[in-house]
Structure 1
Amino acid sequence: MSFDPFGDFETAGYLQNSLGLKDPNEVKESEHLSFEASIEDALGYLAKKKPVTFQTVLEVHKILFSGFYHWAGKDRNELVPHLAVFKGSHGDPHSTAFERPDLIRRSVDYALKLAADKKAFRDHPGEVMGQLAFSHPFLDGNGRTILLVFMELCYRARFAIDWSKTNKDDYLLALSDEIREPGQGHLDNYLKPFIVFISSRDEWPKMISGIRGLDGLDKEDITYESLDNPEIQQLYKTYRAKPLDP
């Protein structure tokens, strides 16, 4: 695994995991076991939180992954504020840049603001999911944490996404397009055929466990660069044409 933001992979393993694992398959398996064991606790926590806030998102991540990562529940700005994170290499025209560490909270807050308008959220679920994904708050476990938060937000807006009908590759392609060009309907158009009537929270753990490829959603060729790099600074000046509301 090339993703080594702490610079101690050889001695501490991947992202300082509690077992000191280095093998990608072992990391993925153990991490997902932590996730599966904690789904119901995380969903129970979410159901009681009114409203959902940035702190809620941090706490969900902590519940899900604290058994495997000692830093679970801490965002990138707290852990590695000097690093920009990408899916793919930043020089690749098909790469995806995630939010700057210092703007993660603002980015999540904006997504939650969009979701608070329930009618607009039902009409544009992909815009909310895209904004949450762009924020990429954590070094790992983003996809699964955001999925649970997103499902709870959908529930409160009285709809759901039938994730069992989605295709991982098609979804990730639409998500990447949404992150690069927010608000243009890329992910809205993909998700709308899968919108269903609200489902009981009791069904969610089984539904989430059945999503194909879920254990790999967070490990899609993640790389990083220093924010001191002038090229990276310039990229963030021009990336994503649509600015956030103040």
Structure 2
Amino acid sequence: MTFDPFGDFATEGYLRNSLQLKDPVEVKESEHLAFEASIEEVLAYLAKKRPIDYKAVLKTHEILFSGFYPWAGKDRNVLVPHLAVFKGSQDDPHHTPFERPELIKRSIEYALELAANKKRFRDRPGEVMGQLASAHPFLDGNGRTILLVYMELCYRGKFAIDWSKTNKDAYLRALSDEIRDPFRGHLDSYLKPYVVDISSREDWPEVIGGIKGLDGLDKEGIIYANLDNPEIQRLYKTYRTQPIE
């Protein structure tokens, strides 16, 4: 966790956090405390927000993490528009490239459009989650922000995912496959057995508290690279070029 896209890790700590923490364990603990303290406020905000749009996604992140990250609610295109973000090594054929900064908003908005088709959404729940996750709009806190937005979208689609029966590693594998090779059913196949009829929002804090590895696509193996790098440009040209059905 020592590399920091802001370039001031030594003085400001990991991602310029408000406590200037550098130790990975302390960062995770403090970050998660901020998250847990804000869940109720976020759920109330999302329940009233009509419609769920890109600004709502930004606001969700701001509410959740402003107690720890002063930049909470700002996306990568605002903070580090010159950097690409990957999970895993660039040389690893199984690396996961996230969306280019300037396309984050469009990617999120497309996910929201997919969710608006309620029948398709229930039949293909992985498409929406995969599209949201591939956008990776924030420097940190993506998994938790996206999960809450996704749960609200499911609620409006009159269904829910029984997260208590999912497996962290299997879910993250399916999610990574969906990001690399979207709209081919990777995450649909994993999530569909766990689709249930709508659940009460009152149960959500307990449900969320029981989900492990919510930051699985945020800290572990995340690398940054300059978008001007010819190799990075080549990767993006060959990445996610399949037609969308």
Q: TM-score, normalised by structure 2?
A: 0.97
**Matched AA of 1:83:** L
SS of residue paired to 2:134: helix
Q: Percent identity?
A: 75
Structure 1 3/151 Cα, relative in aligned 2: closer, same or farther at 3 Å? farther
Q: How far 1:217 sits from its partner (Å)?
A: 4.9
Q: Deviations over 1:88-123 (max 9, x none)?
A: 111211110000000000000000000000000000
Q: Where does residue 4 of structure 1 map in the other structure? A: 4
SS of residue paired to 1:84: strand
Q: Deviations over 1:218-242 (max 9, x none)?
A: 2221111000100111111110123
Q: How far 1:60 sits from its partner (Å)?
A: 0.1
Q: How far 1:244 sits from its partner (Å)?
A: 6.5
Q: Where does residue 77 of structure 1 map in the other structure? A: 77
SS of residue paired to 1:99: coil
Structure 1 243/107 Cα, relative in aligned 2: closer, same or farther at 3 Å? farther
Q: Distance in 1 between matches of 2:46 and 2:3?
A: 30
Q: Where does residue 128 of structure 2 map in the other structure? A: 128
Q: Distance in 1 between matches of 2:214 and 2:132?
A: 17
> Is the contact between residue 85 and residue 223 of structure 2 (CA under 8 Å) also seen in structure 1?
yes
Q: Distance in 2 between matches of 1:3 and 1:38?
A: 28
Q: Where does residue 236 of structure 2 map in the other structure? A: 236
RMSD of Structure 2 on Structure 1 (CA): 1.2
Q: Where does residue 45 of structure 1 map in the other structure? A: 45
1:57-206 superposed matches below 5 A:
57-206=57-206
**Matched AA of 1:183:** F
**Matched AA of 2:237:** K
Q: How far 1:57 sits from its partner (Å)?
A: 0.1
Q: Deviations over 1:52-71 (max 9, x none)?
A: 00000000000000000000
SS of residue paired to 1:214: coil
- Provide structure 2 residue ranges, at least 5 long, that are not aligned to the other structure: none
- Provide structure 1 residue ranges, at least 5 long, that are not aligned to the other structure: none
SS of residue paired to 2:37: helix
SS of residue paired to 2:225: strand
Segments ≥4 residues shifted beyond 3 Å = none
SS of residue paired to 1:4: coil
SS of residue paired to 2:219: coil
Structure 1 244/60 Cα, relative in aligned 2: closer, same or farther at 3 Å? farther
Structure 1 216/33 Cα, relative in aligned 2: closer, same or farther at 3 Å? farther
Structure 1 243/108 Cα, relative in aligned 2: closer, same or farther at 3 Å? farther
Q: Distance in 1 between matches of 2:135 and 2:216?
A: 18
Q: TM-score, normalised by structure 1?
A: 0.97
Q: Distance in 2 between matches of 1:189 and 1:202?
A: 28
SS of residue paired to 2:192: helix
SS of residue paired to 1:202: helix
> Is the contact between residue 2 and residue 14 of structure 2 (CA under 8 Å) also seen in structure 1?
no
1:19-38 superposed matches below 5 A:
19-38=19-38
> Is the contact between residue 134 and residue 179 of structure 1 (CA under 8 Å) also seen in structure 2?
yes
**Matched AA of 1:224:** Y
Q: Deviations over 1:121-163 (max 9, x none)?
A: 0001001000000000000000000000000000000000011
Q: Distance in 1 between matches of 2:59 and 2:65?
A: 10
Q: Deviations over 1:58-89 (max 9, x none)?
A: 00000000000000000000000000000011
